[in-house]
Amino acid sequence: MFLKHAALASALALMAGTAMADCQISGNVSIVGNEFPAIHTVANGAAQCAGGEVKSNLTADHQKINVAGMQGNPAEYSTAIIANSSVVALMNEDVIRPLDDLVAEYGQDIPKNQLITIGGKVMAVAFMANAQTLAYRKDVLEEIGVDVPKTYEDVLAAAEKIRAAGISQYPVGGAYAAGWNLAEEFVNMYVGHGGEFFKPGSAEVAINNEQGVAALEMMKALTAYMNPDFLTHDSNATGAEMEAGNVMLMNMWGSRMGNLMDEEGAEEQVYSNITVGAPLTVGGGSTPASTLWWDGWTVAKNISDEDAVATFLAMKHGTSPAILNDETMSQAVWMIEGYTPAPVNDGVFAAIEMGTQSYPMLPYQGLLHTALGDNLADFLLGKESAEQALADAEAAYTAAAKEKGFLQ
Amino acid sequence: MKHRSFFWFVLPSALAMLLFIFFPIISVIVQSFHVEHEQVIKTVETCDLFGCKESTTIDQEATAALKEAKPLGQFAGFKTYLDRNHLATSEVSATWNRTNSWRDFGAQMLNLPFYKAIGFTLTFTFVVTPLVIILGFVIAVAVNSAAKRLRGVLIFFSLLPMMITPLVGALILFWMVDARGIIGTTLQYLAGDPDLSVKASTPLMWIMLMVYGVWHAAPFAFIVYYAGLQTVSQDTLEAARVDGANRWLQIRHVIIPHLLPLTTFIALMQLMDNFRVFEPIVSFAANAHATSLSWAIYNDLGGETRQLSSAAATSVLTILGVAILLSPVLVRTWREFDRK
């Protein structure tokens, strides 16, 4: 098996060598995107193109600058690397162009499923997938004699046993930091309960319902087994709790599993037993309480056609099989031909197989996400009822949606 | 000074203020009176890696005409100011009619984002400002009475909290008060409660933010007072000593009156700074427990959909808040100026 992988990798490396000469552009490319290894790989791949200048600005603050950087004419950035939640902000401001012409002329070899189409127009090209799934300690589950949890109810039962056995006082982890993370956990749990966020086809919010309350109640039940500081724990902090050997079960991003399972930051006993599982379901539902995410690239509207072609070709090259090698293979769940998954990616593949919903690409979803992040903590702190917290989130969203012109 | 030369003296700074302070404020005010265009929503089929589904998007062609006609958006007047995410007038009056006691009314008000933010902001301002003044004064007097050769070192260490970047300083404290950090563990030991966690409790989080505020700003008060102490007339002090004043009486009747104008200055600066409290809330990830007006602005602009009008309205309300807060001090300063 290892030999096969190695052979494949070297074959791909050879391909990369030949492909380098293949990418010729006649125009300038300027990339803005998030800052993590997989995005660096894409930007470096694009930079291999010859014939024009390719520069990139990769920063964790990319969302604060990409809209402004693409609104000018000509735009500062010819492409933004975004995810399904953030492509919406670019579309709302009308700063990215449909890619249909470019795909027809230069992108026939891009697999169809990578093309993100909205209303029949190609708006982005996806290159990697991500989802939150279960991460668990194999040794601890064996010790208490429990199967790998498939539902959140199983997680609660296992957590109680782990606590009763005196292994860990707070065995459950989760990125419950008030704000974006907490809202994301609610979105997961609400989707798992079969909830819909809006009245169909409108921007009118509808989360204060049975599913909403059930989602919050489950989150609160889980927090009873979490470190009391859970409202300050983002994915970094809760990942650190697992590496420290305190957390035995948690819902975690596929893109971060590699960090948990490598030799850095944890004892051998811990990292060798951390295992990736499928996403969890909840409340007897069959849809996982998780959302699927993709990362992809776009092309700015306010640039010359020449630069648009150059950008398209460079980004296509940056997300082509040519970028895959030994080092880059494990950086993400690449949606690129020639990618061979490792065990660390089992969770994301399981999420796709189980029919996990993708995070909604609605123009007003971001406003709801902000409102949820600001209003759900009061319930988890025991200051108010679930219905009140949901009503607050709805009211905050409605006021914001009026300011943004989505509701009148 | 002749009016003519006065004019030429202040012209450069007046121009800079006009350009960098006045015009931006005007633009923020204009923004706050507008909301975005009506967004024409259409239902579309959205396909990604994982399949297709019914979804909605903004009809850019239909919206383009609206944008063209009114580039600023729809005029909304005070609507944004009065909506639930700001002054929430209708929610406040409904709460007023529904609740029977002040306590209940207060609790309901703190559920509204603006009042939650202003509640913490004002508490922070009125607790931290006096403590900074008192602590800064005490440190200044202590350093001033230390042996001359020690003073340089003492001043350096006293100024350290101010030299550290606020975000970093707050993070240091954040890790120290963690349940497994040095302060957190000590608190658990002192309270005899192994589950005590500063980050999980709203009152403790408030206290921690204020402790940070005092720690960070006391050096500023210290260095101003220390400079002031160098100008205290030694003759007056000696006369007081001859009259039999002890150390406390010297401070009470000579030093404090001498430093009073400085206290006004420090109070002014601190009221302004503390009203804009922001960094510790971010560093402490304290937003579940405490928010401030500045944090609300940051939160509006940091989401995936930027809420410019909302942030602009909160900014104008912050400016008004600072103006109200400073007015007693400013009126006082003006009267003194007038007397002269």
What's A389's domain CATH number?
3.40.190.10
Residues A220 and A333 both lie in one domain = no
Asked if B58's CB is within 8 angstroms of A92's CB, the reply is yes
Cβ-Cβ contacts under 8 Å for B163 (sequence gap 6 or more): none
Q: Which of A184, A169, A83, A146 is nearest to A277 (CA)?
A: A146
Residue B103 pLDDT: 87
Residue A203 pLDDT: 92
Residue of B nearest to A398 (CA): B84
Residues A170 and A278 both lie in one domain = yes
Cα of first residue to Cα of last residue in chain A, in angstroms, is: 60
Asked if A374's CB is within 8 angstroms of B84's CB, the reply is no
β pairing state of A274-276 and A172-173 = unpaired
Residues A154 and A228 both lie in one domain = yes
Residues A190 and A204 both lie in one domain = yes
Q: Could you tell me if residue A32 is inside a domain?
A: yes
Asked if A179's CB is within 8 angstroms of B287's CB, the reply is yes
A88: distance to nearest CA of chain B, Å? 8
Q: Which of A244, A247, A245 is nearest to A227 (CA)?
A: A247
Calculate the alpha carbon distances from B269 to B130, B134, B158, B161, B224 in Å: 12, 15, 19, 17, 12
Calculate the alpha carbon distances from B325 to B266, B274, B281, B315 in Å: 14, 11, 21, 15
DSSP-assigned letter for residue A357:
P
Q: How many residues does chain A have?
A: 408
Of B35, B55, B73, the CB nearest to A362: B55
Tokens of B48: 């990604």
Q: Which of A259, A293, A308, A328 is nearest to A43 (CA)?
A: A328
Q: Show which of residues 59-88 on chain B sit within 8 Å of chain A, judged by CB atoms.
A: 60, 63-64, 73-74, 79-80, 83-85
Q: Which of A118, A121, A90, A114 is nearest to A298 (CA)?
A: A90
Of A63, A85, A177, the CB nearest to B285: A177
Asked if A374's CB is within 8 angstroms of B303's CB, the reply is no
Catalogue the long-range contacts made by B8-14 (C-beta closer than 8 Å, 24 or more residues apart). none
Residues A149 and A99 both lie in one domain = no
Query: Which residues in chain B have Cβ-Cβ distances shorter than 8 Å to A358?
Result: 48-51
Task: Select the residue from A225, A383, A404, A406 to test the B interface by mutation, using most B Cβ atoms within 10 A.
Answer: A404
Write down which residue in A315, A332, A352 finishes a domain: A352
Residues A186 and A281 both lie in one domain = yes
Residue A372 pLDDT: 96
The identity of residue A246, as a single letter, is N
Residue B167 pLDDT: 86
Residue A16 pLDDT: 43
Tokens of A13: 């490396």
Residues A229 and A247 both lie in one domain = yes
Residues A76 and A148 both lie in one domain = no
Write down which residue in A352, A368, A390 finishes a domain: A352
CATH of segment(s) B113-339: 1.10.3720.10
Q: Could you tell me if residue A408 is inside a domain?
A: no
Q: Could you tell me if residue A216 is inside a domain?
A: yes
DSSP-assigned letter for residue A77:
-
The identity of residue B209, as a single letter, is L
| Domain extents in chain B | 33-45+57-77, 81-111, 113-339
Of A92, A356, A396, the CB nearest to B305: A92
Residue of B nearest to A203 (CA): B41
Q: Which residues of chain B have pLDDT under 70?
A: 1, 340
Cβ-Cβ contacts under 8 Å for B287 (sequence gap 6 or more): A178, A179, A374, A377, B281, B295, B299
Residues A152 and A125 both lie in one domain = no
Residue B228 pLDDT: 94
Residue A332 pLDDT: 85
Q: Show which of residues 233-292 on chain B sit within 8 Å of chain A, judged by CB atoms.
A: 284-289
Cβ-Cβ contacts under 8 Å for B259 (sequence gap 6 or more): B137, B225, B228, B229
Q: What is the pLDDT along chain A (408 residues), one digit of tens a residue?
A: 444 444 444 444 444 444 444 788 989 999 999 888 889 999 999 999 999 999 999 988 888 889 989 999 899 999 999 998 889 989 988 899 999 999 999 999 898 889 999 988 999 999 999 999 999 999 999 999 999 999 999 999 999 999 999 999 999 999 999 999 999 999 999 999 999 999 988 899 999 999 999 999 999 999 999 999 999 998 888 999 999 999 999 999 988 888 888 888 888 999 999 999 999 999 999 999 999 999 999 999 999 999 999 999 999 999 999 899 888 888 888 988 888 888 888 899 999 999 999 999 999 999 999 999 999 999 999 999 999 999 999 999 999 999 999 998
Plot region of A165 (φ>0 → left; ψ -120 to 50 → alpha; else → beta): alpha
By the CB < 8 Å criterion, does B46 face chain A?
yes
Q: Show which of residues 132-191 on chain B sit within 8 Å of chain A, judged by CB atoms.
A: 178-179
Distance CA A344, CA A262 (A): 10
In chain A, the number of structural domains is 2
A98 phi, psi to nearest 5 deg: -65, 145
Residue A4 pLDDT: 46
Residue B1 pLDDT: 64
Residues A174 and A27 both lie in one domain = no
Residues A41 and A87 both lie in one domain = yes
Residues A142 and A227 both lie in one domain = yes
Cis check: omega of the bond before A74, within 30 degrees of 0 = yes
Task: Tell me how crowded residue B83 is: count the other CB atoms within 10 A of its CB.
Answer: 26
Tokens of B132: 């900074």
Asked if A117's CB is within 8 angstroms of B57's CB, the reply is no
pTM confidence score: 0.89
Asked if A399's CB is within 8 angstroms of B85's CB, the reply is yes
Residue A351 pLDDT: 93
Q: Which of A176, A87, A166 is nearest to A359 (CA)?
A: A87
Of B45, B178, B304, the CB nearest to A86: B304
Domain span at A13? 2-130+293-352
Distance CA A52, CA A30 (A): 11
Tokens of A67: 């809209």
Asked if B50's CB is within 8 angstroms of A234's CB, the reply is no
Tokens of A234: 């983002």
Cβ-Cβ contacts under 8 Å for B250 (sequence gap 6 or more): B237, B240, B241
β pairing state of A115-118 and A121-137 = antiparallel
Query: Which residues in chain A have Cβ-Cβ distances shorter than 8 Å to B44?
Result: 118-120
Write down which residue in A352, A374, A392 finishes a domain: A352
Count chain A–chain B contacts defined by CB atoms under 8 A. Answer: 180
